[in-house]
A and B are shown apart, each in its own frame.
Chain A
Amino acid sequence: MGRKLLLEHADVPGIETFDVYRKHGGYRSVEKALKTMSPEEVVEEVKTATLKGRGGAGFPAGMKWSFIAKPEGVPRYLLCNADESEPGTFKDRYLMQYIPHLLIEGMIVSSYALGANQAYIYIRGEYMFVLRIVEKAIAEAYEKGFLGKNILGSGFDLDLSIAPGGGAYICGEETALIESLEGKRGNPRMKPPFPAVQGLWQCPTVVNNVETLATVVPIINMTAAEYTKIGTEQSKGTKLISAGGNVERGGVYEIELGLSVEEFIYGDEWCRGIKNGKKMKALVPGGSSVPILPAHLITKTANGDTRLMSYESLSDGGFASGSMLGSGGFIVFDEDQCIVRNTWNFARFYAHESCGQCSPCREGTGWMEKVLHRIETGKGNMRDIDLLADINKKIEGNTICPLGDAAAWPVAAAIRHFREEFEWHVTHPEEAVKRNYGMLKGVTA
């Protein structure tokens, strides 16, 4: 059994209410931080814990916090990114739906550390039913004196509310989120200036993922020294993983970083193997934006080391033979799946979600979708495969925000590892329309 720091009490009946949550040790970190620690000490603790951002990029949270500008008389804001729209990712919803006070608690401590007196949660609009749960929990926290003026007599004030999006993946990008929260279209901003200097309403702002903010709670409660005893050399603590695709038991799991990928996929406590007793063909370990891994690179790295659920092990081998932990969106493919079809599906997603500001992304994602669709439906030619690589290069690094890269990488990885599958679609145009490649060929690796 791995240790659970976030979901330990998620199954307790009534844990979504203040009283039950409090009875199970809830809001202790607020008492500890506000009564016995200075804001700087909280930042230092999170830094020492080497907490990496759980939204996908893995940027150290403590470091991000220390960048926030502190001009006299200018308000600072903490924003929680609950936009969660990266395909394969549904962990933040689980946390907010079942244990909403954990997020609120983490946001109080984090706001205190940043000197922010106003914080907002930006949640994707489709999660309106979750918004209502969190909103109720916020009202309870106000009632009990954990939000509002002079929290626990500490002199620290905090207002917190939750705002819905309107259906746009791009609003998960932090500057697009800020634009959206200002009531505008979600077009990402050029950086610099970074949000830490000019964010919401041009004021210093920190944007963190739901899970990142929730993880501040156990760090403060148990101390960074204890927290860092869990995990691996470069990946400390626990991580929420949302598993989907062709696994026997999909869902949200909290793992200790460093668990082996094999154990996670096949272990009884976790995914329990591939559905219908089939074989595994491929894995996307960190949400749709990260490179796909073929069967022979999933449980072992290219060097033959055991592949672990950690930042460093999943990226071992770089883009040539590795991938990324990303958002923890774990997508498993069984032997019957067609990689070309899935690559086209993801490309369609990015084309649909491009905000359209930069031409390499707006046009490039559209072309990739069309070319991939052409190949998938048996109308492609061999040159199309190289054309995709070429479009890729023209998008990568030439856009305002990373959505362009996120669209390009999965296509490049799919071609790198499954080129013969793309070629088969070209050489067997009639069969490609009628049949699913995976069903036809089985495991290729």
Chain B
Amino acid sequence: MKIEITEQKRPVLSEEAKAEIQRVIKQYPEGRQKSAILRVMHIVEEEAGGWLSPDTMDMIAEILSIEPIEVYEVATFYTMFNLQPVGKYVFEVCRTGPCMLVGSDNIITYLENKLNIKVGETTTDGMFTLKTAECLGACGYGPMLQCGEEYHEYLTPEKVDELIEACRRGEIKGNKVV
């Protein structure tokens, strides 16, 4: 995998995030704090506006008292972590078999046209990033997409329009602006 380096200074963590991190580290025995890495990465990514810069990953290494390389290794293995800036709203459309059988291809094309971007790109106003994902465990309710922590199911072009409008009106939780 090729990583282009985009710089962003580490985020200032909120008090809740700091407390949450300490709580999850305590779930593991003494000296096993590295086990908390994925949870900590999710928490920090949220604080950092939806992606992890090298400096932010170094911060995670410091929090867990491990080497930065141990964070990079993990960050490049798991698909959920964004290593480049993303839009305020990230749409991840499931593209796998069961969803394809009920029309996920059409939803992806519809979104590409509507947002005027290709999969993997972000709109110029920084509002939307379009991605595809493998099966998200909602196969009986497809086509579907995930935005933030929420699942949007039984998608049709009309429902996609509504979702985009709801995002524009700020009714859907998006990434923090940092």
**Which residues does A use to contact B, with CB under 8 Å?**
84-90, 92-93, 118, 120, 124-129, 159, 161, 163-169, 180-186, 201, 242-247, 250-252, 284, 288, 329, 331, 333-334, 337, 341-342, 345-346, 349, 352-353, 355
* 7 contacts across the A-B interface (CB closer than 8 A): A87-B96, A87-B98, A89-B135, A182-B35, A183-B36, A184-B73, A331-B139
> When the two chains form their complex, are residues A90 and B37 in contact, meaning their CB atoms are under 8 A apart?
no
> Do A246 and B134 touch (CB < 8 A)?
no
CA distance A124 to B133 in the complex (A): 13
Contact residues in A for B95 (Cβ distance below 8 Å): 345
Q: In the bound complex, how far is the Cα of B134 from the Cα of A85, in angstroms? A: 8
Contacts of A124 in B (CB 8 A): 137
Determine whether the beta carbon of A244 is less than 8 Å from that of B98. yes
Of residues 19 through 56 on chain B, the ones whose CB sits less than 8 Å from some CB of chain A are 24, 27, 29, 32, 34-39, 41-42
Contact A345 B100 (CB under 8 A): yes
Measured CB to CB, the closest approach of chain A to B94, in angstroms, equals 9
- A128: B residues at CB distance < 8 A: 42, 149
**Whole-angstrom distance between the alpha carbons of A165 and B74 in the complex?**
11
Pick the most buried of A125, A331, A353: most chain B CB atoms within 10 A of its CB: A125
Q: Is the interface of A mostly helix, strand, loop or mixed?
A: mixed
Asked whether any CB of chain A lies closer than 8 Å to the CB of B150, the reply is yes
Residues of A within 8 A of B133 (CB): 126, 167
Question: What are the residues of chain A within 8 A of B149 when measuring CB–CB?
Answer: 128-129
In chain A, what residue has the closest Cβ to B135? A87
Residues of A within 8 A of B136 (CB): 126
Q: Which residues of A contact B36 (CB under 8 A)?
A: 163, 183
Q: Given A166-B80, A185-B74, A201-B32, output 8 extra A-B contacts at Cβ < 8 Å.
A: A85-B135, A90-B139, A92-B137, A125-B38, A125-B80, A167-B78, A168-B79, A243-B140
Give chain B residues whose Cβ lies under 8 Å from the Cβ of A245.
97-98, 101-102, 139
The closest CB in chain A to the CB of B36 belongs to: A183
CA distance A363 to B42 in the complex (A): 31
**Interface residue ranges, B against A (CB under 8 Å):** 24, 27, 29, 32, 34-39, 41-42, 64, 66, 70, 73-74, 77-81, 95-98, 100-102, 133-142, 146, 149-151
Neighbour of B97 across the interface among A165, A183, A247, A346, CB < 8 A = A346
Q: Which of A163, A349, A352 contacts B38 (CB 8 A)?
A: A163
* Chain B residues whose CB sits within 8 angstroms of the CB of A86 once the complex forms: 135
Q: Select which of B39, B97, B137, B151 is within 8 A of A288 by beta carbon.
A: B97
Contacts A86-B135, A124-B137, A128-B149 given; indicate if A164 touches B100 (C-beta within 8 A). Answer: no
CB pair B34 A242 closer than 8 Å: no
Cα A164 to Cα B95 in complex, Å, equals: 22
Q: How far is the CA of A300 from the CA of B50 in the complex (A)?
A: 50
In the complex, what's the smallest C-beta–C-beta distance from B91 to chain A, in angstroms? Answer: 14
A244 touches B34 (CB 8 A): no
Whether A129 and B38, one on each chain, are in contact in the complex, defined by CB atoms closer than 8 angstroms, is no
Given contacts A246-B101, A331-B97, whether A183 and B38 have CB atoms under 8 Å apart is yes
Cβ-defined contact, B35 with A244, below 8 A: no
Of A125, A337, A349, the residue contacting B78 (CB under 8 A) is: A125
Most buried by A among B35, B39, B135, B150: B135
Closest A residue to B137 using CB positions: A90
A164 adjacent to B38 (CB under 8 Å): yes
**A120 neighbours in B (Cβ, 8 Å):** 27
Contact of B81 with A166 in the complex, beta carbons under 8 Å: yes
In the complex, residue of chain A having the shortest beta-carbon distance to the beta carbon of B33? A183
> What residues on B are CB-neighbors of A127 within 8 Å?
137
Complex interface: chain A residues within 8 A of B151 (CB)? 129
Contact across chains for A166 and B137 when beta carbons are under 8 A apart: no
Contact B146 A242 (CB under 8 A): no
Residues in B neighbouring A163, C-beta threshold 8 A: 24, 27, 35-36, 38-39
* Complex contacts, A349 vs chain B, CB 8 Å: 96-97, 134-135
Q: Choose one: B77, B97, B150; the contact of A87 (CB below 8 Å).
A: B97
Q: Which residue of B lies closest to A75 (CB)?
A: B29
Cβ–Cβ < 8 Å partners of A90 in chain B: 137-140
Cross-chain contact B97 with A88 (CB below 8 angstroms): yes
Interface pair B73/A165, CB less than 8 Å apart: no
Contact, CB under 8 Å: B27 / A166: no
- Measured CA separation A200–B134 after assembly (Å): 27
- Bound complex: CA of A243 vs CA of B81, how far in Å? 30
CA distance A329 to B135 in the complex (A): 12
State A184–B41 Cα separation when bound (angstroms).
13
User: In the complex, what residues of B have CB within 8 A of residue A165's CB?
Assistant: 38, 78
Q: Which of A129, A201, A329 contacts B139 (CB 8 A)?
A: A329
Contact call B38/A126, Cβ cutoff below 8 A: no
Of B77, B100, B101, most buried by chain A (CB within 10 Å of CB) is: B101
